[in-house]
Every structure is written in structure tokens, then in C-alpha cells.
Homo-oligomer: A and B are copies of this chain.
Amino acid sequence: MSHTLEELASYVGGRVEGDAGCVIENVASLTSANSRHLSFYTGGKHNTAFANTNAGAVILSEKHVGVSSINCIVVNNPSLAFALIAEKLNPVEKLSGVHPDASVESGANIDATAYVGPQCAIAAGVQIKAGAVIGAGCVIGKNCVIGEGSRLNANVTLNDKTIIGQNVIIHSGAVIGSDGFGMANDEGRWVKVPQLGGVVIGNDVEIGANTTIDCGALDDTVIGNGVKLDNQIQIAHNVQIGDHTAIAGCVGIAGSTVIGRHCTIAGGVGIVGQIEIVDNVHITVASIVTQSITSSGAYSSGTPLQENTTWQRNFVRFRQLDDMAKRLKKVEKQLKK
């Protein structure tokens, strides 16, 4: 599938600088591209790669026009334009039908344009809507709904009554609708509290590999539209995540916490249960959130990496921090006199 630079520029609403007839077959990075490839450049540490690229053309923004004589598509948002063109040049394969090695219970309702791969187990009452794709080895529990155009990669597990919206992508090993961690204590012994809620996933959501989302205890766990979840995220029962929030890998969110819209949460962050985080909050890498966040903005916790011997000295002193604060105050008082 090849296109002229003109056609691709027009597709993303950009203009061509250079040879508009240049033929592009695919996208590639600046370093691995050849003359049939389109690459992209956003400045910064990629200057050398840009100067030396063999790409046929590069997508960039107005401010980088003229830095090089290479053919360009000039747009306001090069990352977005690149994403759209990469998708156009690499369409996802269309599949339909139920593989003969799938196991489908009677009473499952699979649209004729949907696909169910080999080694899947689809329970009764499941609805798989038009154009949805269920990869090999997926297990879909009773009464789940998979919306139009959604795609489950291989070995995804949906427990009973999970509701998935449209155009959702779920990566391998993800588990949606597992029981929440709810227990009552009976004189030292833990008694399971049945987890009776469901999980409701909005439209245009992406869920990473081996991410887990527990069902609600009574009401549902809710993931908003356009939410993007990376790999190995843990989302406990009754969490609510607002639309268009993006969460990087290895984040854990404890039960009943409500996260706003358009938040970004970096990798390794931990968030305790029963709190609220408003819209447009940005939490930096590996921070621990122990209270509600009531104003938008960026938040952080943690200490800097140091060479081990130096760190040891500071690490030990942390134990004396309160003591130091009191002694400092005392010193200040003495000096005042």
C-alpha cells in the first residue's frame, strides 16, 4: 500500500515541503528509514538522527521547517499526524467467524462479522457485537458484552457480566472482573465478602497486558471513555476512572478511589483507597498518593537516586529528621536571645 506524500499530507491536513510526488510505503524511525519511508521529528535528542536520516520524508511542525532539505509534511501536531498515517499504512487485519477450535456455549450471541479465535471459551449469555475480534485462548464469562469493533488479544480473561464498550483494545493476559479483595474479620479469621458488582468499560479504552480490573463489591467498577491503561496495572473494586485519563505501567489503585478526567499517572504510582482525585491531575513516577487531591496540578513524592554509600548516610539520617527539626528550632531560639 503506497501513497504519494501529497496524499498523506492531505490525509492529515498538512502541507508538503519538497517533492509532493515522493512515494511512501510505510513509516519508520529516523535511524532505520529508507527512501520509501516516512519518519517524524520533534526536535530535542533526535537532532543527529534527523540530520543523518535516509527517510524519503519526515513529518514535523512549522518550527522545524528548513532545518534540513529533506521532504516534509508540515503539521501542527506531528505525533498525531504520524499516528494517523501509521495506522492508514498498517491497517489491522479483518477477521470474522468462529474458529472451529473455539468452545462456545449455546446461548452466546456472536455477530456474523465478529471473530472468535481458537481455544477460546465463550459462556452462555455473552454478546459479541459487530466487528469485534476475540483472540486465541480468551475466556469470556457469562453475560459479558463486547461492543462493536472491540478487540481482545490472545489469552484475555473476562469474568461474568463484564461490559466492554466500542473500539476497546485489551491486551494479552489482562483479567477484567476478578473478585475484589473484600473481607470481614471474624476474630482473626478472614471471611470473604461476595463480590457482586460488575465492571463497565467505556468506548475507545485501551487496557495493557496483564492488567487486572476487579469487579465491584456491590456497585460496578467503572472505566470512562478514552481511558488508556498500560501493562500490569491493578485497579481494585469500585474504582472509577474519568474519561481520557492515561495511566502508565505498574500503577496500583486501591478500592473505591475516584480519579478525574484528563489525568496522567506515571509508572509505578500507588494510590490508596477511598479517596478522590480531581480532573487534570498529573502524578509523577512512583509517587504514593495517600490523600485526596482537590486541585489540578502536578504531584510527586519520593527521594533521589544516589550512589549507594552516600545514600546510606542520608537514609539513616531520615530517622532523625523530626529530631533535627526540633533541634534547629531550639538553636534558632537561642540565637534570638
Which A residues contact B (CB, under 8 angstroms)? 26-29, 31-32, 45, 77, 79-80, 82-84, 86-87, 90, 99, 101, 103, 117-121, 123, 135-137, 139, 141, 153-155, 157, 159, 169, 171-173, 175, 178-179, 181-186, 188-194, 196, 204, 206, 208-210, 212, 214, 217-219, 226, 228, 230-232, 234, 236, 244, 246, 248-250, 252, 254, 262, 267-268, 270, 272, 274, 282-291, 293, 297-322, 324-325, 327-328, 331-332, 334-335
CB of A202 to closest CB in B, whole Å? 12
Query: Which of B45, B83, B302 touches A194 (beta carbons < 8 Å)?
Result: B83
CB of A241 to closest CB in B, whole Å? 13
Query: Which of B157, B209, B308 touches A172 (beta carbons < 8 Å)?
Result: B157
List the B side residues contacting A335 at CB < 8 Å: 331, 334-335
CB of A88 to closest CB in B, whole Å? 9
Copies in the complex: 3
Query: Which of B86, B254, B285, B324 touches A272 (beta carbons < 8 Å)?
Result: B285
CB of A145 to closest CB in B, whole Å? 17
Cα distance, A188 to B243, chains bound together (Å) = 10
List the B side residues contacting A186 at CB < 8 Å: 77, 80
Check A267 against B249 for contact (C-beta < 8 Å).
Answer: no
The 10 closest A-B pairs by CB, nearest first: A121-B136, A298-B308, A178-B209, A103-B118, A313-B322, A139-B154, A79-B184, A101-B103, A80-B184, A250-B252
Check A208 against B192 for contact (C-beta < 8 Å).
Answer: no
Check B325 against A219 for contact (C-beta < 8 Å).
Answer: no
Cα distance, A311 to B236, chains bound together (Å) = 27
Check B311 against A300 for contact (C-beta < 8 Å).
Answer: yes
A119-B121, A137-B119, A288-B285 known; A190-B244 Cβ under 8 A: yes
